[in-house]
Amino acid sequence: MRTIEIFDTTLRDGEQSPGVNISTNEKVEIALQLEKLGVNRMEAGFAAASPGDQKSVAEVAKRVKNATVVSLARAVKDDMDKAYEALRNAQNASLHVFLATSPIHRQFKLNMSKEEVLARAVEAVTYAKKYFKEVQFSAEDAARTEIDFLAEVVEAVIKAGATTVNIPDTVGYMTPYQYGNIFRELKKRVPSTDLIRLSCHCHDDLGMAVANSLAAVEGGATQVEGTINGIGERAGNAALEEVALALETRKDYYQATTKLNLKEIARTSQLVSRLTGMIVPGNKAVVGANAFAHESGIHQDGVLKEVTTYEIIRPESVGFKSNKLVLGKHSGRHAFKEKLIDLGYHLEQEEVNAAFAAFKVLCDKKKEISDDDILALVDSKMVRGPEAFQLESIQLAYGNISVPTASVRLVRADGSVCEEAACGNGSVDSIYKAIDRATGEEVSLVDYKILSVTHGQDALGEVFVRLQQDDLIVTGRGVSTDVLEASAIAYVRAVNKIMERRGEPAPVSATI
């Protein structure tokens, strides 16, 4: 039984999803959860992309102890220097350097010959080895590279000291048979691949990222790269939870498994979804809301008689469990703290006190408090960065024959208060126009979503907004039993993000 190592790039490739901007504190929070999940390597970012990215990589490197922290870098010395600076405090660090190898990239992007590409790849790996014991080289667009030249590059970078070589399907072009065959050919042509990790990295443009990753494992890959929930640039990356469950469920076929703690999958998926604002579709494999739901009478009958008739994965195996009423208005601080630990939180006492106060307020509004309620409540109350404005109150006047009007009261970071009112086409529109007046920011609402955290008339409402100002797109999230209040909170938080990130240099994007 082979062990397949997992390289998570949620914090780098996943953050390149359109409209996703993860703050440094949010990256650290996700990184610590990825550590609990048991990933072998996590790509914390692209240190040379921007000062903010370099800071995020450095913070993740300081906090993570049980996984290798990786920074991406182009085959440029300055990129590699910045990656070293960001990773110098990591317990275990690795550099991921990339250079395109395909004919179309050589001609139109790099304007380099095969010989120049080969020389640059070797030079980059040689330089990286001065800083790092572990160096991964990625041949960008390897899947569309001539196999003879690809084998030549792979052999050369291994001789130069690469400990991992990644063969990415950068544009999601391959079929499973074709992609798996690349690995088989490389194993034949380059015997030294037996001495290093051979990694796969698949994009989902044609919906085959997971299938291609599994085909690569069949072909000899020893490491799979991907993201939680399959997020990423364009159509996204291979969903790591799907790859892991496929290997676990079909060990009889693949004869391979991972060292992931599968029971942390649900928690990791939910955290990434909340912090990125990218909702997991109900029909998403492994972690979707309907993944373990059975509506058909025939299916229900079969599952009741023998669960394996229609269920090949037990929800408990990936960390889903039934919501039980274990806390309520009479619960004490100690029990609440223990519940937070059980749910995966390790907060400072001041944070516990703030969350407990919010929990008590929620208890007065809801009869039943579920685990999902607590997760949403705590996540929404955790301050993950500086806040220029906080919502203190909103007032609404609305009727089906009157013009909706909203007034808002915001508190600035310096303690001063601003109040504004506005009319709109509906309650939400009037709230947002009032907030625009109060903050003085001109933004466009790109997306707006409402979700119910749990069930029932008193369920918590979770609102996600996506705002745009010039080229900057950010997300905001708010939670409340009142969806209008949640809408206001989400909008104010998104405005805060815009104000925080405005003026930062545009990050350099990289697609592997």
**Half-sphere CA count of 462, side-chain side, radius 13 A:** 22
Question: What string of DSSP letters covers 263-332?
Answer: GGHHHHHHHHHHHH--PPPTT-TTTSTTTT---SHHHHHHHHH-GGGT-SS-GGGGT-------B-TT--
Please state the φ and ψ torsions of residue 331, each to the nearest 5 degrees.
-70, 145
347-374 burial string, b = 16+ CB within 10 Å, else e? Answer: eeeebbebbbebbeebbeebebbbbbbb
Asked whether the beta carbons of 138 and 480 are under 8 A apart, the reply is: no
DSSP state of 110: I
pLDDT in tens, 332-344: 787 788 778 777 6
Please state the φ and ψ torsions of residue 412, each to the nearest 5 degrees.
-80, 165
∠ CA 470-485-459, nearest 5°, is 120
Consult the annotation and say whether 330 binds a ligand: no
Consult the annotation and say whether 455 binds a ligand: no
**HEC readout, 66-108:** CCEEEEEEECCHHHHHHHHHHHCCCCCEEEEEEEECCHHHHHH
Structure tokens, 424: 């709109």
pLDDT in tens, 262-303: 999 999 999 999 889 898 998 999 999 888 775 556 555 665
Containing 420, the helix (H) or strand (E) segment is: strand 417-423
463-480 average pLDDT score? 89
Consult the annotation and say whether 237 binds a ligand: yes
Give the per-residue pLDDT at 298: 58
pLDDT in tens, 132-146: 999 999 999 999 999
Q: Which residues pair with 474 in a beta bridge?
A: 467
pLDDT in tens, 418-431: 999 999 999 999 99
Consult the annotation and say whether 105 binds a ligand: no
40-53 average pLDDT score? 95
307-330 average pLDDT score? 73
| All structural domains of the chain | 2-276 (3.20.20.70), 292-319 (no CATH), 333-381 (no CATH), 389-501 (3.30.160.270)
C-alpha–C-alpha distance, residues 261 and 245, integer Å: 11
Least confident stretch, 142-151, 184-193, 310-319: 310-319
pLDDT-derived band of residue 123, with 50, 70 and 90 as boundaries?
Answer: very high
Least confident stretch, 159-163, 470-474, 483-487: 470-474
pLDDT-derived band of residue 375, with 50, 70 and 90 as boundaries?
Answer: confident
pLDDT-derived band of residue 490, with 50, 70 and 90 as boundaries?
Answer: very high
C-alpha–C-alpha distance, residues 219 and 241, integer Å: 20
Give the per-residue pLDDT at 294: 55
Provide CB contacts within 8 A for 457, sequence distance 6+. none
C-alpha–C-alpha distance, residues 419 and 274, integer Å: 29
Structure tokens, 33: 């959860």
Is the per-residue pLDDT at 72 higher than 60?
yes
Is the per-residue pLDDT at 388 higher than 80?
yes
Structure tokens, 132: 């790092």
Nearest to 237 by CA among 385, 15, 470, 418: 15
In the predicted model, what is the mean pLDDT of the chain? Answer: 90
Least confident stretch, 52-61, 207-216, 290-299, 423-432: 290-299
Place of tokens 């992931």: 260
Nearest to 26 by CA among 65, 63, 51: 63
Is the per-residue pLDDT at 216 higher than 90?
yes
Nearest to 82 by CA among 121, 40, 131: 131
176-188 average pLDDT score? 98
68-81 average pLDDT score? 98
pLDDT in tens, 11-36: 999 998 877 878 899 999 999 999 99
Please state the φ and ψ torsions of residue 166, each to the nearest 5 degrees.
-105, 135
